[in-house]
């Protein structure tokens, strides 16, 4: 495996890991976004519905309160109390019914004409839980297919009537009736002495409100009632029209739920929606469920919203594909840039050094490595150039020595012949010297072997130190990128905190406007009350304006809570970011220190390698010299013991020396200086 592969393959693996992790994180976050895109509108629709129910209940209560103190109403109830209120066919009760229809006909007609919503559903009750008169009907109740005008007992299922007549306090909210879910507002009726006479109620059907709110939405709306209330709601007992779902719920409104997987899915969701808002996704469908509660906050039913998420799925899928492609392109671009950077800073200088080394192995000492940087590769190039220069100077000196050796070889032969006479005298001394020099030569050989080992270890240590310093440099660069990204994140969090504070200021302005609106509405109500009969309608408008202001104020308070939660989250993110900044700074400090330490190690390793090279050269020269001395002494010793043979051997050695000088001269001229 070459140097490019050693550096490219790990980088490629890291980029693949980054791409995989980035893709998983992107897909996960976009799936959460998809769920929020669907759940938020559904949750908002639920809140709008509940607020509309509350608003409608308040309206019905206010309308009923208009009739609770009318003189003609009190007079009619006193007439009914003059008879037997427990008798459904009591004559005084019948006279009271007719009186109420006659006295309130003008108001009832005016409401129907002005609003265009049909007759007002105005209902008067007796304190014993019996219905006195339903003003929107000509007759009270139908028995056995025949309409009869008499009071009927509703105490077994109309708990609001009993509560109002027992406590004397008004009641508003949803209550189940014969036809299902109804929004009611009940006010107590009392005479001038404070005696309770009964109650008056204005009711509004729940289904039209739901249809109006969701008329323009793309939701499939279903309303379910708990089956346990089926005994009260007689008009919902037709199983064909109002099917029973899994013996738990009665579907009051909306398209029927299909059996099978969708039915099981819907049943599970409805069970969750009995307590709180719940949402589930099944393929390309999303369904939300939330509880419907009566005036006492008791759960009596469940409403579901179903929608098709095909468009949302397509949008999120396109975003996922785009994000993954962008991430893939970024990773590829980083890989290409990394490869180019590696080629320019490492591979190109290494190629130049390899070329010079090949020329040096052939004896060509004319060229040097081009130094293009001041980093480790530049220092390595300078070191190679210094080595080439040293070898060039050494070979030049060796040429001079060989020239002199060749010129003086004859003189050496003559000098050797002159020494034959003294060979015998020196033979004993030469023998001792030969033994000593043999031991010295063996020691020199061991020293040379150890010096080679030291040189090999020094070169390996230098290479490993260079690789470590490169790795630390890459880590330092990545730490600096992380530090820059973290600073950008902290700036974004600061900007988010400033935006939330601006939102809080806007909410304060809205609250002030709502307070002023309430004050204006209160003043308008005072003016309307002082205007007498002519200002009643204006008074109703003033009350509605005040109610709207209160709703706005409640909404802004809820928004302020959310803003405060966002501000707390921003503060927590700021603390976490500052903490991470400290960790990143420590990491940068540690990597810088490590890089300096490795740089020092590289310098020391280079010094060690150079010293080892010098030691190796010196020991090689010493070993060569000692070998030559031992050989010469042995020859001298041999010549001392055998004079005749020594003279001939000296002559042969002189000739051999001439040949060696010629060969060495030929070898030296093979170098190109």
Report if pTM > 0.85. no
Residue 167 belongs to domain spanning:
69-211
The pLDDT assigned to 472 comes to 64
The pLDDT assigned to 368 comes to 75
258 or 466, greater pLDDT? 466
Lowest mean pLDDT among 48-52, 502-506, 659-663: 659-663
- Give the integer Cα–Cα distance in Å for 25 and 27: 6
The pLDDT assigned to 260 comes to 43
Residue 335 falls inside a structural domain: no
Centre a 10 Å sphere on the Cβ of residue 668 and count the other Cβ atoms it contains: 18
Residue 21 falls inside a structural domain: no
If you ran DSSP here, which 8-state letter would residue 532 be given? G
CATH at residue 137 = 3.30.450.20
Q: Quick one: angle between helices 3-68 and 206-213, nearest 10?
A: 140
- Band (pLDDT 50/70/90 cuts) for residue 261 is very low
The residue among 153, 188, 211 that closes a domain is: 211
Cβ–Cβ < 8 Å for 201, 64: yes
Residue 340 falls inside a structural domain: no
The residue among 211, 237, 268 that closes a domain is: 211
The pLDDT assigned to 29 comes to 66
- Give the integer Cα–Cα distance in Å for 180 and 292: 12
Beta bridge partners of 196: 190
Cβ–Cβ < 8 Å for 517, 545: yes
Residues 6 or more apart in contact with residue 593 via CB below 8 angstroms: none
Residues 6 or more apart in contact with residue 328 via CB below 8 angstroms: 19
Q: Which of 126-140, 303-317, 400-414, 644-658 has the highest mean pLDDT?
A: 126-140
Residue 288 falls inside a structural domain: no
Centre a 10 Å sphere on the Cβ of residue 481 and count the other Cβ atoms it contains: 10
462-490 pLDDT per residue, tens: 777 677 667 667 767 776 777 787 777 77
Instruction: State how many domains the chain has.
Output: 2
Cβ–Cβ < 8 Å for 185, 170: yes
- Give the integer Cα–Cα distance in Å for 669 and 399: 8
Collapsing DSSP to helix, strand or coil, 90 comes out as: coil
- Band (pLDDT 50/70/90 cuts) for residue 414 is low
- Give the integer Cα–Cα distance in Å for 507 and 558: 10
- Band (pLDDT 50/70/90 cuts) for residue 628 is confident
Residue 257 falls inside a structural domain: no
Residue 425 falls inside a structural domain: yes
Q: What are phi and psi of 309, to 5 degrees?
A: -100, 25
- Band (pLDDT 50/70/90 cuts) for residue 123 is very high
Helix ranges (DSSP H) in 128-257: 159-167, 206-213
547-604 pLDDT per residue, tens: 877 777 777 777 777 778 777 876 777 777 677 677 767 767 777 776 777 677 667 7
Strands 130-134 and 141-143: unpaired
298-350 pLDDT per residue, tens: 999 999 988 877 766 666 677 767 767 777 777 777 777 776 766 666 666 77
Collapsing DSSP to helix, strand or coil, 247 comes out as: coil
The residue among 211, 239, 264 that closes a domain is: 211
Residue 115 falls inside a structural domain: yes
The pLDDT assigned to 429 comes to 62
- Give the integer Cα–Cα distance in Å for 131 and 151: 5
**Alpha carbon 124 to chain centroid, angstroms:** 60
Collapsing DSSP to helix, strand or coil, 463 comes out as: helix
Residue 589 falls inside a structural domain: yes
**Mean pLDDT score, 107-131:** 92
The pLDDT assigned to 451 comes to 62
- Give the integer Cα–Cα distance in Å for 607 and 465: 13
Is 210 exposed, middle or buried (CB count within 10 Å of its CB: 0-12, 13-18, 19+)? buried
């Amino acid at each position: 495996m070459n140097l490019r592969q050693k550096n490219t393959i790990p980088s490629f693996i890291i980029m693949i890991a980054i791409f995989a992790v980035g893709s998983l994180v992107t897909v996960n976050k976009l799936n959460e976004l998809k769920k929020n895109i669907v759940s938020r509108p559904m949750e908002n629709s639920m809140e709008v519905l509940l607020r509309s129910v509350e608003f409608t209940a308040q309206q019905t209560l206010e309308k009923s309160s208009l009739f609770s103190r009318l003189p003609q109403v009190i007079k009619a109830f006193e007439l009914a109390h003059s008879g037997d209120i427990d008798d459904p066919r009591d004559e005084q009760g019948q006279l009271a019914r007719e009186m109420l229809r006659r006295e309130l006909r003008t108001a009832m007609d005016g409401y129907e004409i002005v609003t265009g919503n049909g007759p007002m559903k105005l209902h008067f009750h007796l304190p014993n839980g019996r219905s006195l008169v339903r003003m929107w009907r000509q007759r009270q109740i139908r028995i056995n297919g025949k309409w009869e005008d008499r009071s009927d007992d509703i105490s077994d299922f109309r708990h609001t009537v009993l509560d109002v007549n027992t406590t004397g306090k008004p009641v508003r909210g949803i209550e189940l009736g014969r036809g299902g879910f109804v929004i009611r507002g009940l006010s107590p009726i009392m005479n001038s002495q404070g005696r309770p006479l009964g109650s008056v109620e204005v009711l509004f059907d729940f289904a039209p409100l739901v249809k109006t709110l969701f008329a323009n939405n793309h939701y499939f709306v279903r309303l379910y009632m708990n089956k346990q209330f089926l005994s009260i709601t007689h008009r919902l007992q037709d199983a064909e029209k109002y099917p029973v779902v899994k013996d738990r719920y009665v579907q009051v409104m909306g398209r029927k739920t299909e059996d099978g997987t969708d039915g099981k899915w819907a049943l599970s969701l409805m069970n969750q929606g009995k307590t709180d808002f719940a949402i589930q996704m099944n393929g390309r469908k999303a369904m939300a469920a939330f509880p419907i509660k009566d005036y006492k906050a008791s759960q009596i039913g469940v409403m579901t919203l179903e929608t098709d998420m095909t468009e949302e799925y397509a949008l999120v899928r396109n975003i996922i594909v785009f994000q993954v492609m962008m991430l893939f392109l970024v990773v590829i671009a980083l890989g290409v840039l990394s490869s180019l950077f590696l080629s320019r800073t490492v591979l190109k200088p290494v190629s130049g050094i390899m070329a010079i080394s090949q020329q040096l192995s052939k004896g060509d000492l004319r060229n040097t490595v081009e130094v293009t940087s001041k980093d480790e590769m530049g220092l390595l190039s300078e070191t190679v150039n210094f080595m080439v220069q040293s070898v060039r100077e050494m070979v030049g000196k060796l040429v001079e020595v060989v020239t002199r050796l060749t010129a003086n070889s004859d003189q050496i032969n003559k000098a050797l012949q002159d020494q034959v006479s003294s060979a015998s005298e020196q033979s004993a001394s030469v023998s001792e010297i030969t033994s000593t020099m043999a031991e010295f030569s063996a020691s020199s050989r061991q020293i040379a072997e150890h010096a080679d080992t030291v040189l090999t270890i020094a070169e390996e240590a230098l290479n490993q130190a260079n690789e470590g310093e490169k790795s630390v440099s890459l880590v330092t660069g990545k730490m600096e990128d992380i530090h820059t990204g973290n600073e950008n994140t902290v700036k974004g969090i600061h900007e988010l905190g400033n935006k939330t504070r601006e939102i809080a200021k806007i909410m304060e302005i809205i609250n002030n406007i709502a307070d002023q609106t309430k004050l204006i509405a209160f003043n308008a109500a005072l003016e309307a009350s002082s205007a007498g009969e002519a200002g009643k309608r204006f008074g109703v408008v003033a009350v509605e304006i005040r109610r709207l202001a209160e709703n706005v104020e409640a909404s802004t308070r809820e928004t302020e809570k959310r803003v405060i939660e966002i501000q707390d989250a921003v503060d927590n993110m700021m603390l976490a970011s500052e903490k991470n900044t400290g960790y990143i700074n420590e990491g940068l400090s540690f990597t810088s220190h490590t890089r300096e330490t490795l740089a020092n190690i590289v310098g020391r390793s280079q010094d060690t390698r150079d010293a080892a090279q010098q030691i190796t050269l010196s020991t090689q020269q010493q070993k060569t010299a000692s070998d030559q001395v031992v050989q010469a002494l042995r020859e001298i010793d041999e010549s001392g013991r055998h004079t005749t043979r020594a003279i001939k051997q000296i002559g042969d050695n002189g000739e051999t020396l001439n040949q060696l000088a010629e060969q060495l001269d030929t070898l030296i001229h093979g170098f190109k200086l």
